């Protein structure tokens, strides 16, 4: 299991003057606000240690949020512009960083080589969510942890229908995002056990944030 450590392991926010940053380029939500991590980013980072892989680089500012207890951060990003942006931030953080060309269809890491994998607004945009989750499972060591922050199909039938109807246009505008996906069910089908799950609504769209381990 990933060893959980208290909040003081998080790097002091005042060390970095890098702006708000973004979770993903196709979802330009801030990872920082007022110099501090957003609650969602803090939830993803809290207690991480070991070798952590995150799918998608955003603009790299998310690297400044990682705890110093991490032995290595691995970002997997297909876009060369975003990889270059992330490298500029990587030089400023105390944790070793590797930035690799790739995406969730085939994560460029060895089997069982990661203690944790972060998917933040990434599974909703994966061409095949099931393939992405199998890749995450392959990359994790036994007992490794998946942390996710994703769109989630609404529990209300009328809203879920509306999400399905708007998905084709939404996906074209928002980098392939599919707001009607049942991410929670897909995570369970991929063989994960969900340890913690919170549901919330942002801009009238259902989301989930949680932790899961390989079953």
pLDDT of residue 125: 84
pLDDT of residue 60: 95
Q: Domain-by-domain residue ranges, the chain? A: 7-214
Angstrom CA distances, 70 to 51, 97, 158, stand at: 6, 10, 43
Return d(Cα 158, Cα 136) in angstroms, integer. 32
pTM for this prediction: 0.87
- The closest alpha carbon to 180, from 200, 163, 202, belongs to 163
Look up residue 55 and give its two tokens.
């799918």
pLDDT tens digits for the chain (215 residues)? 433 333 434 444 445 566 789 999 888 889 998 889 999 999 999 999 999 999 999 999 999 999 999 999 999 999 999 999 999 999 999 999 999 999 999 999 999 999 999 999 999 889 899 999 999 999 999 999 999 999 888 677 766 666 665 655 665 666 666 676 899 999 999 999 999 999 988 777 789 999 999 98
* Strands 36-37 and 97-101, bridge-based pairing: unpaired
Buried b / exposed e over 17-37, threshold 16 CB at 10 Å, is ebeebbbbbbbebbbbeeeeb
48 burial type by CB count under 10 A (0-12 exposed, 13-18 middle, 19+ buried): buried
pLDDT of residue 136: 98
Give domain 7-214's CATH number out of 3.40.50.300, 3.20.10.10, 3.40.50.150, 3.20.20.150.
3.40.50.150
**Which residue(s) pair with 98 in the sheet?**
74
């Amino acid at each position: 299991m990933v060893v959980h450590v208290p909040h003081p392991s998080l790097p002091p926010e005042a060390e970095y003057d890098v702006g708000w940053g973004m979770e993903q380029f196709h979802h330009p939500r801030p990872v920082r606000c007022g110099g501090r991590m957003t609650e969602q980013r803090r939830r993803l980072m809290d207690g991480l240690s070991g070798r952590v892989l995150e799918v998608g680089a955003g603009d790299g500012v998310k690297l400044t949020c990682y705890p110093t207890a991490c032995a290595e951060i691995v970002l997997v990003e297909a876009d060369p512009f975003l990889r270059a942006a992330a490298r500029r931030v990587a030089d400023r953080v105390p944790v070793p960083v590797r930035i690799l060309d790739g995406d969730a269809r085939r994560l460029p890491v060895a089997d069982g080589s990661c203690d944790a994998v972060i998917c933040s607004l990434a599974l909703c945009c994966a061409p095949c969510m099931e393939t992405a989750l199998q890749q995450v499972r392959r990359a994790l060591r036994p007992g490794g942890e998946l942390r996710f922050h994703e769109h989630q199909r609404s529990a209300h039938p009328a809203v879920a229908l509306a999400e399905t109807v708007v998905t084709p246009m939404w996906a074209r505008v928002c980098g392939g995002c599919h707001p009607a996906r049942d991410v929670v069910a897909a995570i369970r089908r991929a063989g994960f056990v969900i340890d913690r799950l919170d549901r919330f609504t942002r801009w009238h769209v259902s989301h989930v944030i949680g932790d899961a381990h390989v079953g």
